[in-house]
Amino acid sequence: MPPVPIKPDIYWIGVNDRTSDLFEGMWPITREGISYNTYLIDDEKKAIVDLTKSLKTDEFLDQVHQLVGLSELDYVVVNHMEPDHSGVLRTLRRVAPQVTILGTKKTRDMLEAFYGVTENVRVVGDGETLSLGERTLRFFSTPFVHWPETMMTYVEEEGVLFSCDAFGGYGALRGGIFDDQCTDFGFYEKEALRYYVNIVAVFSRPVLNAISKLESVPISIIAPSHGLIWREHPERIVELYQHWAGYAGEPGDVGVTLVYGTMYGNTEEVMNAVAQGISDEGVPVDIFDARRTHVSYILPSLWTNRGVMVGAPTYEGSLFPPVAQVLSMAATKRIRNKTASHFGSYGWSGGAQREFESFVEELKWEMTEPFEFNGGATDEDLRHGEAYGAQFARMIRESA
């Protein structure tokens, strides 16, 4: 896509990535894609804000070249060092050695560690300003949104906030880059939530700190480094992020995430009965087959629902591994304050419940009575499964 003006002489020069299968090497984006939003300010001094992943170097340099010569560039603002925003830096330094790189103290250290770059780097402090001519940049330190070195850059005269990972989302841009051009907001909201929980949720407290820090700053445009640019309703994405960050300290919505796995269908048969019981109580339930669903898509449901039901048989004395992997990632992402239960089939000695309990302890979740059954489900097991689901759903509803 060619450069797009977001304000006079301020341009989006980003790139879409529709060929990477995995973001951060682990989160699927094959169907959704992602954008690396980069911006160019064409003032007396010329500055690029945020960069892109190295595999998009040619496309990025072409974007710049459509607006200014590389030898005319004065500054590159590195809001965040993760290589999806800095990967092009080594090449850029070679083709435009005169550029001064701006970032926090920690950015300076990371520039050396990641790229061996030590020359022509200028550290900017929290609240510091830099005149480009007609415009003034102000830098806000916002550590841990997403890494410790992260900052945001604000154009004072026009109220444009370059927020980097904050307020971003998965999903390549579909021609229109602005929120008011978006005809499928549901897609971008869903993908922004998935991105939030996959990437940012562990840092929810820093997200809330950053939002409070920016409260007094008039914002006309939020220009993140991934996803839509918010010019009609910048407050919309801020409110969503604030809302999602709030789940870090509370149980969540009335709803159940039912994650299951099965080897030969016995646990799945009871899972259907359990789901029936939950639905009978009018409580929303999201069902995920852990064998076939990447945890990236399960995490948003775990983050937002207060109830978690885990259907997993015993496998070699342990919890069925595809399900265990989901709980392990939930622990990595510090998903807390849930109420959980486990049901599943065992062949002889069991063991799944024991491992489930150790996960629950690590996750600091509340646990309810398990329901394990031997071998295949009997009619009585199925009746019990439905009652078990209904009882759990009532407890979740009444806990709100």
Using rule CB under 6 A, residue 80 touches ligand FEO: yes
**From 70-78, 81-89, 120-128, 298-306, span contacting ligand FEO (CB under 6 A):** 81-89
Smaller CB separation from ligand FEO, 17 or 355:
17
Q: 99: which DSSP letter?
A: P
Smaller CB separation from ligand FEO, 108 or 146:
146
Using rule CB under 6 A, residue 85 touches ligand FEO: yes
Provide, rounded to whole angstroms, the least separation between the CB of residue 199 and ligand FEO: 6
On whether the CB atoms of residues 324 and 355 are closer than 8 A, the answer is yes
Provide, rounded to whole angstroms, the least separation between the CB of residue 195 and ligand FEO: 9
**From 80-88, 175-183, 270-278, 381-389, span contacting ligand FEO (CB under 6 A):** 80-88
Neighbour-count burial for 352-370, b at 16+ CB within 10 Å, e otherwise:
bbebbeebbeebebbbbeb
Of 383, 126, 183, 381, the residue nearest 277 (C-alpha) = 383
Q: Please report, as residue ranges, which positions from 223 to 242 form the binding site for ligand FEO (by CB under 6 A).
A: 225-226
Q: Please report, as residue ranges, which positions from 353 to 372 form the binding site for ligand FEO (by CB under 6 A).
A: none
Of 377, 277, 260, the residue nearest 327 (C-alpha) = 260
On whether the CB atoms of residues 78 and 162 are closer than 8 A, the answer is no
Q: How far apart are CA 267 and CA 352, in angstroms?
A: 12
Residue nearest to ligand FEO (CB): 82
Q: How far apart are CA 27 and CA 92, in angstroms?
A: 27
Smaller CB separation from ligand FEO, 32 or 84:
84
Smaller CB separation from ligand FEO, 17 or 42:
17
Q: How far apart are CA 344 and CA 318, in angstroms?
A: 12
Print the binding letters for residues 146-175 with ligand FEO: x by CB under 6 A, - otherwise.
x------------------x----------
| Residues ≥6 apart with Cβ < 8 Å to 343 | 267, 270, 271, 274, 309, 310, 311, 370, 371, 372, 373, 385, 388
Which residues sit at the interface with ligand FEO, rule CB under 6 A? 80, 82, 84-85, 146, 165, 225-226
